[in-house]
């Protein structure tokens, strides 16, 4: 279900590794909850899942775009759009 909603999971070249890591992090959190309800405190599982998720955020982050020499700011984009009150000829 996750892979169909988030393009970073299926649009990446490491799609199966990303999906497996998300599953592993989810299993760790769920197992922690199950153990916690039994009175067993496995505190290491939450930081383990957090490290996995944060590393996936870094790996799947979009690459920053380089601005061309002519477009150093967003002014060119804003002026090209049809803003309210602007009359097109």
pTM: 0.64
Extract the tokens encoding 15: 């799609």
> Domain coordinates of the chain in residue numbers?
2-62
| Segment 19-77, tens digit of pLDDT | 899 999 999 999 999 999 999 999 999 999 999 999 998 988 877 877 666 655 555 55
DSSP string, 36-69: HHTT---TTHHHHHHHHHHHHHHHHSPPPPPPPS
């Amino acid at each position: 279900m996750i892979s169909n909603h988030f393009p970073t999971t299926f649009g990446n070249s490491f799609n199966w590794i990303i999906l497996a890591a998300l599953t592993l992090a989810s299993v760790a959190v769920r197992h922690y909850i199950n153990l916690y309800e039994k009175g067993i405190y496995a505190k290491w599982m939450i930081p383990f899942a957090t490290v996995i998720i944060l590393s996936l955020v870094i790996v799947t982050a979009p690459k920053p775009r380089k601005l061309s020499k002519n477009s150093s700011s967003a002014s060119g984009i804003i002026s090209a759009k049809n803003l309210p009150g602007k009359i097109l000829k």
